[in-house]
Amino acid sequence: MTDLTTGPAAARASRSAVLDEAHLGDIQGALGTIKQHDTGERLGLTAKFKTLLAIAGPGLIVMVGDNDAGAFDTYGQAGQNYGTSLLWTLLLLVPVLYVNQEMVLRLGAVTGVGHARLILERFGKFWGAFSVIDLFLLNALTLVTEFIGITLAAGYLGLPKAGAVLLAAAVIIASAFTGSFRRFERVAIALCAGSLLLVPLYFMVHPKTSQMVHDFAVPAIPASVFLLLLCNDRAVLGPWANGPKTNAFTSAVVGVLVTLSVILTASVLFPGISSTAILDIMAGCGVIGILAAGYSFTRRRTGTKEDPIDRTGRDNWRMPPLDTLARPTMSTGRKIGMGALRTYLLVAMVLVIIKIVQVALGQ
């Protein structure tokens, strides 16, 4: 009798990435638990909703994560200077958020390992350390802005500033040292609930609905990089790797993300920036993007064509253990591009540090 479980498809299905302890066992979310071997179909809305509650915590925290003191300061400043005329930029963020979340989901589902580990293993210690260190520094700066915001809020409410900062620090430290991700997730979700205060604030401000709809649709002014690289790594994603159309769309999204980041940094550093200056920034970024796209298109037409991606067997395909994969070689152009982007991030970080010092000194 023929053994139907052998062959290339079975070999692909048997390969699996090595999971760490955090990815083994039951899924214990803040609002529910899914047993390790519970793979049955969810029948009925109640069962589906309970499953959603068990896994929605990390996504909810990420979604609300940018609603911090620094962000609200930027929102308030933009609203004061431009009213609702910049609402149309939110529409530009929709594809940015979708593409980033989709690539993260695909990498996690297929590889079974974390983003930082993939960067370290596939691009080497330098880029791995660079990615982790700049993330650490940016998070540290974010914490500084949080405490500045807490100080300002306490002063506005007539509360002791030192006590408010110490209480906030105690809550953060206590939640991080609970020894349980589930407890930390519950604390984080409870803090996320504070964003619901935006709902009554909206009605208190009572902006004109017609004006908001107009500014959403009509412009009033005449990232992911490692994710993109990893999603093109066929050794990592195999049949799940990006195709040419996905890369073109994702590259455009990364360009939009960088442009918005430049505008945001400029608006924070120079509160009186004019609409003309913002338009010049967008035009400059657009020209650079067109030149980069032209170079990529020309290089693709004149270079050696790559083999098409084999999509067969993708439902059962998993990344092999990382230590069995050969390290990819990075082209000179890719190194220059990554270096330029990281240089921009460093410059932006230094400028934000200067701004934080100025705010702290009351200038």
Residue 124: φ, ψ to 5°? 100, 170
Q: Which amino acid does the sequence have at 255?
A: G
Do 233 and 241 meet the contact criterion of CB atoms below 8 Å apart? yes
pLDDT at 327: 78
Confidence at residue 221, expressed as pLDDT on a 0 to 100 scale: 44
Half-sphere exposure of 275 (CA within 13 A, CB side): 9
All residues at 6 or more sequence positions from 315 whose CB lies less than 8 Å from its CB, including other chains: none
Q: How many C-beta neighbours within 10 Å does residue 206 have?
A: 7
- The segments of the chain whose pLDDT lies below 70 read 1-24, 214-225, 268-269, 271, 296-297, 299-307, 333-334, 337, 341, 345, 348, 352, 355-356, 359-360, 362-363
The pLDDT value given to residue 171: 86
pLDDT value of residue 83: 76
Is the model's pTM score more than 0.85? no
Rounded alpha-carbon distances, angstroms, from residue 255 to 95, 263, 286, 287, 332: 11, 12, 8, 11, 20
CA angle 328-330-336, nearest 5°?
160
- Measure the CA–CA gap between 68 and 142, rounded to whole angstroms: 9
Q: What is the pLDDT of residue 287?
A: 82
